[in-house]
Structure 1
């Protein structure tokens, strides 16, 4: 199932209506490459969500001179009202409590990790802007002011990314037990009244790490973690007692493990599982007999990843993620609606979301392609009226963007490796300078068929971009994932090199103009690529990259890490390498130990407040490599964490990347 192949590449326009802040700026001319800010500025529009009855739309909007606020649109007349906005912070997330009330949090988009002084907090407000109430403090323990004595929930109270009952004033929120520096120990659940902030804890067994609400928005599943043992507990509605459905290794799993996805409108539990096969599928779970039931959806070439689409107490379809995000509809009426929307938007994949309990014909549509950043629109199924709400990257002109495709090549041991190939718009696609962009994780899925800012920016500057889904990446089956265990710097690295040679053999890349780049694990792979294959890569760009696995285990007293002790004790030894048993391998695959072997030009960028890959990784490596390599550039963004939160730093960094690439591989 490859959704993007069903669509053409013509993008149509629609009328924007919300507020001036979400209108697209004038598109850049075709003669010049789009400016860096078009790719990496914070958008003025950040998404939307229908009310349960479908009469209203909540949207996140801002402007250059204002913080992001929360607006509500009355769909009967398309009138908009800003219901919440602060002068010192942005609205972060929001969910409908019911048809008349919203729960929301904040996110300071003008502060980097080092400068964050406040938690997100929790707030509630009516859709008309009245009934405002702060429910949880924003003040962390080291920040005090006059509000500390107000009776509120503690700062470590967070929104739950699931809908509650949506029929009264209550919501469920999480109470996170966090130890410094940001390591989650437990995640308890609270039932909170959004009018008066009264709260009651949900009783449960064990040390909770995640929750799943049922079809009525009530707690039904809790996952607990004890060292490396993950257990799934079910609250039986008949007995009101918790019972264990299954237990397995949290990091390596086993043949019988599964992941709870959602409850259907009839109370059935839907899960994803391998069930003896290489790739996961969507199943109904037999709660009476604690076993998998009927298999419902399997994706060709991919593990199942997606969500249920439920409206009017009916399972209408499943949102799935194969090469792209798309929808499998079970309901004929929704299938017909999809065809109607697709006819109006022929150049994009169009994800339709109906209201949970609709009283109107309005649906929300998210439209995107590899060249079109996501646009949000509303569509009236009766009048066929469609209006644009906002665009996540309004300054991007799709015609100036490159094409993105999923390709496959064989690794040297025969393993099939998927990869994303982005090529510049127009012109010949032969013997191009190429950037091999390595995803982080590494035990995650790297890419998708969509508009990808990093890759499209590089393509707009004339580079081919190859993003390998090397072994160890998830989403492509258990065999592909497990083949990457303990292969940092070894077969995982070979997969990347084999993809580079494949692109050269295809005639896509110029063998003398290839640079390797990546963040986090991708930064590690960049350095190991320069070490293992010096003939292949003319330069490297590493940002926030791991430089030594030993430093992941112990970054020293001066630098804090958010890697938990359980992950270091049970996960890392199995998936990456045991620091004692595999000491020689870890030394041989340490960029820090091999720094003197890197002779190519290198750009290094690190965050001074990074907790995932502390600054010591960059500092130690820079000190080591510059002794024998004069062509090393260094930049530290002191206020940033694991990546660049601030637009000024994103724009500065990618400006440096552009100059670095142009100098080293940009011209013959």
Structure 2
């Protein structure tokens, strides 16, 4: 009964409050815990009819439990939970039954000794059944015969949601890397399964709008092949093959099938920026006219459809947005936007077209996610919950997309976040020098898009402490066209690094940053770039904060006998030589651009942090560099979280780390800094 009471307090009672989220007046910046604790609410998942909302709430054990709200009468109940784990990913199998797995939010990734398992339950809490084992990753025998093995995982796609059948993945591991991904058809009511047979080794799958496997992906010798299943004959054939790591202009990436069977794909078609095209399934060729092109960006996103119609496309421009093809949803979006001005309002659509309810996720650069149910008949918007109730929008800093020119003429996009109450320079208005302390925050990857217009806990934590934050989208970053990406090939520590330095100088020239108070920071590749920035531009950066960063490029290739690595051997053989450099042909360059070999050149204050269980950038990267840099630099702070992996999964470690970062920055570029000795 206590669990139900908690549910009513957190969800049901919230339905009685409509409109803006109530906030208390804050006079001081929120504490680190407000930014880095786990979100209090993460939204929910509507059932296919839109009648039920499944959500995770705190249960009577203190763990995340699974609750279901009946939107027809606002009744709610907890339907599942664990004493020793939290509810993980949740999906609806049909309007009566849910599928979910487990996680553990109280231990770090390195201490995780079980798989997520697989479970099902009805919306009323009956017919609970465990479908797959939740066992230690390295226990290969003694499996129970009435359950699927521990390496069975949910798919991202939900299927047709009109029966007790779903598809699940059977993942084959080679050490710590994924070797294959087989597909099983599972009856969640009985536990019976059947295997989907294919004449190749699959590594990925795509269902069509009827919920049946239609596409699969294989990889061999640095090439990816997309396979298509003929629905009439059940035969598989190759639709296209392309380079796995540096795709050419003719390659395409499948996005999904529309309800009419049309396959949509992301492709370049000779242009610099990717757009959406239709695919001819007979020939594997693309249409000549794009379905959607996003000005200034590669298309990144997904289709929005119900069982009968392609309703629109969700895409990432400067912020997330939706291009609605359906007039009714255009009108719904307009009404929601009018009711919630100042936020991005994303509408999630249930599968059945006759549904009366949609889920709305609202957020902005200063507002963490807030969730609402919108009734399409009454046009009423009901508040459901919010991610972070202790964050007040007016205490956050606004973000702006900016562009600057690198030394070789390439235009570099970046995100600039200023502290609360400080406005960005406006075109046609004389800039007002602000001379703020600046943190240049470098994204990881590096072959990803780093910055998005959204509430970001790390960025807003820094802004709330009075720092401007610049996030450069240096060459090699994705999302800004093929030229922007390919000009970053083999440019670790070279032109990629120059782009970051040029952005820092731009911020100083614009009057945003005090040249004597600039710190560079980042994780993973961003950690690597932090160290190389201190080495290459010692007069530009006053200090550095680096976590989980690569320190020796050759160590990425060779690994170390003592530490496990999850980097696939095929990526080392075919991907890394193209992207980073060949360990033989480019040996001199890799040596010159490895921070470990130049650690003696770093004299600035430095904070280093690593996870003891990191398999992406093993701990030895950190310990070797720590020992090398400390030989000539007495101002080095070392942090090690024994059970953490590639980043901090536990709130207590996130809070501890960023509290240390706050103190470190305060000493060196903040109010607590001491002037350098002449």
Fold shared per TM-score above 0.5: yes
Contact between 2:45 and 2:53, CA under 8 Å: does it hold in 1?
yes
Report the secondary structure of 2:597's partner residue: coil
Q: Match for 2:224 among 227, 230, 235?
A: 230
Corresponding position: 1:362 with 2:357: yes
Q: Distance in 2 between matches of 1:228 and 1:408?
A: 34
Contact between 2:14 and 2:385, CA under 8 Å: does it hold in 1?
no
Comparing 568-577 with 22-31, greater Cα deviation is found at: 22-31
Residue 140 (structure 1) shift: 2.4
Residue 63 (structure 1) shift: 6.5
How high is the TM-score relative to the length of structure 2? 0.94
Q: Distance in 1 between matches of 2:50 and 2:23?
A: 33
Contact between 1:301 and 1:476, CA under 8 Å: does it hold in 2?
yes
Q: Distance in 2 between matches of 1:329 and 1:478?
A: 27
Contact between 2:322 and 2:346, CA under 8 Å: does it hold in 1?
yes
Q: Match for 2:578 among 574, 578, 596?
A: 574
Q: Distance in 1 between matches of 2:342 and 2:239?
A: 45
Report the secondary structure of 1:650's partner residue: helix
Q: 1:105 to 1:349 in 2, by over 3 A?
A: same
Residue 523 (structure 1) shift: 0.2
Report the secondary structure of 2:595's partner residue: coil
Q: Distance in 1 between matches of 2:549 and 2:21?
A: 35
Q: 1:83 to 1:63 in 2, by over 3 A?
A: closer
Contact between 1:365 and 1:378, CA under 8 Å: does it hold in 2?
yes
Q: Match for 1:198 among 192, 199, 202?
A: 192
Counterpart in the other structure of 2:404: 409
Q: Distance in 2 between matches of 1:116 and 1:419?
A: 36
RMSD: 1.9
Residue 45 (structure 1) shift: 1.4
Counterpart in the other structure of 2:296: 301
Q: Distance in 2 between matches of 1:380 and 1:431?
A: 48
Q: Distance in 2 between matches of 1:360 and 1:199?
A: 31
Counterpart in the other structure of 2:429: none
Contact between 1:403 and 1:423, CA under 8 Å: does it hold in 2?
yes
Contact between 1:206 and 1:225, CA under 8 Å: does it hold in 2?
no
Contact between 1:117 and 1:143, CA under 8 Å: does it hold in 2?
no
Report the secondary structure of 1:409's partner residue: strand
Residue 142 (structure 1) shift: 4.2
Q: Distance in 2 between matches of 1:130 and 1:161?
A: 25
Counterpart in the other structure of 1:55: 51
Residue 252 (structure 1) shift: 1.5
Comparing 326-335 with 63-72, greater Cα deviation is found at: 63-72
Q: Distance in 1 between matches of 2:446 and 2:117?
A: 32
Contact between 2:184 and 2:195, CA under 8 Å: does it hold in 1?
yes
Q: Distance in 1 between matches of 2:329 and 2:64?
A: 33
Counterpart in the other structure of 1:639: 643
Q: Match for 2:160 among 151, 162, 165?
A: 165
Residue 456 (structure 1) shift: 0.4
Counterpart in the other structure of 2:662: 658
Corresponding position: 1:620 with 2:624: yes
Counterpart in the other structure of 1:564: 568
Q: 1:362 to 1:274 in 2, by over 3 A?
A: same
Counterpart in the other structure of 1:7: none
Report the secondary structure of 1:161's partner residue: coil
Q: Match for 2:270 among 276, 295, 298?
A: 276
Corresponding position: 1:391 with 2:395: no
Residue 360 (structure 1) shift: 3.4
Q: 1:142 to 1:311 in 2, by over 3 A?
A: closer
Counterpart in the other structure of 2:430: none
Q: Distance in 2 between matches of 1:143 and 1:255?
A: 45
Corresponding position: 1:212 with 2:206: yes
Corresponding position: 1:18 with 2:22: no
Q: Distance in 2 between matches of 1:306 and 1:483?
A: 24
Q: Match for 2:606 among 582, 602, 609?
A: 602
Q: Match for 1:331 among 317, 326, 341?
A: 326
Q: Distance in 2 between matches of 1:127 and 1:505?
A: 59
Residue 25 (structure 1) shift: 11
Q: 1:477 to 1:339 in 2, by over 3 A?
A: same
Contact between 1:555 and 1:616, CA under 8 Å: does it hold in 2?
no
Note the alpha carbon deviations across 1:613-659, whole angstroms, 9 max, x for none.
00000000000000000000001000100000000000000000000
Contact between 1:26 and 1:395, CA under 8 Å: does it hold in 2?
no
Counterpart in the other structure of 2:94: 98
How high is the TM-score relative to the length of structure 1? 0.95
Tell me the number of residue pairs that the alignment of Structure 1 and Structure 2 aligns. 652
Q: Distance in 1 between matches of 2:123 and 2:656?
A: 39
* 1:73-472 → structure 2 map (5 Å cutoff): 73-140=69-136, 142=138, 148-180=143-175, 182-293=176-287, 294-427=289-422, 430-472=434-476
Contact between 1:60 and 1:70, CA under 8 Å: does it hold in 2?
yes
Q: 1:428 to 1:321 in 2, by over 3 A?
A: closer
Structure 1 gaps of 5+ residues are 1-14
Counterpart in the other structure of 1:488: 492
Contact between 2:102 and 2:117, CA under 8 Å: does it hold in 1?
yes
Comparing 398-407 with 521-530, greater Cα deviation is found at: 398-407
Residue 209 (structure 1) shift: 1.1
Comparing 641-650 with 373-382, greater Cα deviation is found at: 373-382
Report the secondary structure of 1:149's partner residue: coil
Comparing 372-381 with 590-599, greater Cα deviation is found at: 372-381
Structure 2 gaps of 5+ residues are 1-7, 425-433, 674-678
Contact between 1:400 and 1:425, CA under 8 Å: does it hold in 2?
yes
Report the secondary structure of 1:518's partner residue: strand
